[in-house]
Structure 1
Amino acid sequence: MKKMMVMCALLLSAAAGYGQESRQDASISATGLFSPQINGNAVQLNTTTTLGVLASYRYMLTPHSALELNYSFGQNSTKYIISSLPNGRVHTRIQELTGAYVYSLNFRNFNPFAEVGVGGMLFSPIKDYGTTLLDTKQNTNIGALFGVGLAYEVSPSFDVRAEYRGFVVKSPDFGLADFKTNRYEVISIPAIGVAYHF
């Protein structure tokens, strides 16, 4: 009976210790947005490189597995070169809404991780001097997220994260048939930021 009581006490203390660990974190990161040149359907699409911001929330399911929600924001210019028409330019607001599964490892203060998920990329035209066609419309394109990164634990509450994120998505056409490339692209979104564990 004593052995059983000692075993139960050990199990309860282990469970209480696990319950006190940080199981959630929120992070904010600076990002870059890099898109390749896209050629298709007699259209060439060129996009400027820009900076942005990424906010993430992560919930740990186990010490190595987590679910993550992401929101990122940036602005760039998209230029369409079409042989039969004048070139078109769209000043674009880009927003990402994604959910991902994250798998991480622990090596002292270093925590490498990989993630994969799905979500949407919103390409919204900004009607200003940077947009040459006023009849453009917002595109919401569904795509896939993948990435790898490294978190360095500064303290039990904070870590610094650096990661490469890629988003596979259909190129935007802003609702105009002349802008359709019918191609997919990988938008590279490297990020570096700080996470708070709670």
Structure 2
Amino acid sequence: MKKMMLLGACLLLGSVAAQAQESRQDVSISGFETISPDVYGNGVYPMHSSMTTGVLASYRYMVTPRSALEVNYGFSQYTIRYKSVPTPYGQVHTRMQEVTGAYVYSRTYRNWNPFAEVGVGGLIFTPILDNGTHQFDSKQNTNISGLAGVGVAYEISPSFDIRAEYRGFILKTPDFGNTAFKTNRYYWLSEPTIGIAYHF
């Protein structure tokens, strides 16, 4: 009986030690490009967004060896231009912030870890009142967004990997509280992303 109890205790301690050594969490920092199409609708011809570089920070927790939950914060600044009938030319220099959560499914093939994610969150468009903004009565928009992405991570050590990903968002076009900027359309915002992750 004592031998059985000792064996059970050893197995339990071994299991706890193995779990302690397994990396179940990671944080990553990435750079991305924001690419969006021209959007036409409701008298706006068109809404055009400049390309820009941004920064993305993510935290991922592995629920199982293949499934994870992720939270993201992204930041970028760019200019959105509008052409419409009542306002021949409008421009807003905006700060875009991303706050999203996602489910991530991944596989492992030696050092390669392809993954896909789907989630939801908010994109916050805040007008910057400088000489890049023509409408100083512009108001902040918070738009609910769907998120989808596919990517691959390459393990360079047990603690670090390099990640490349395509992320996309579906959301309603921001209008900054100006009826002349309201397209009443949804659009697809693309973010090719590359960065590095630390596992712990």
Contact 2:115–2:150 (Cα < 8 Å) also in 1: yes
Q: Which amino acid aligns with 1:186?
A: W
* Percent of residue pairs bearing the same amino acid type: 61
Q: What is the root-mean-square deviation in Å for CA atoms of aligned residues?
A: 1.6
Q: 1:1-198 maps to which residues of 2 (within 5 A)? A: 9-10=10-11, 12-43=13-44, 44-198=46-200
For 1:114 and 1:4, the matched residues in 2 are separated by: 44
Output one character per residue of 1:137-189: Cα deviation in whole Å (capped at 9) or x when no partner.
00000111110010000001100000000011110000111110001111101
- Gaps spanning 5+ residues in structure 2: where? none
Q: What is the CA deviation profile of residues 3-58 of structure 1, one whole-angstrom value per residue up to 9, with x for unaligned ones?
A: 89657744652453133211111100010000111011111200001100000001
The code of the aligned residue for 1:42 comes to G
Secondary structure of the structure 2 residue equivalent to 1:132: coil
Offset, 1:83: 2.4
SS of 1:19 mapped into structure 2: helix
Paired positions, count: 198
> Could you tell me which amino acid in structure 2 is paired with residue 32 of structure 1?
E
**Which is worse superposed, 90-99 or 8-17?**
8-17
- TM-score (ref. length: structure 2): 0.93
Structure 1: segments with no counterpart, 5+ residues: none
3-state secondary structure, aligned to 1:189: strand
The TM-score normalised by the length of structure 1 is: 0.94
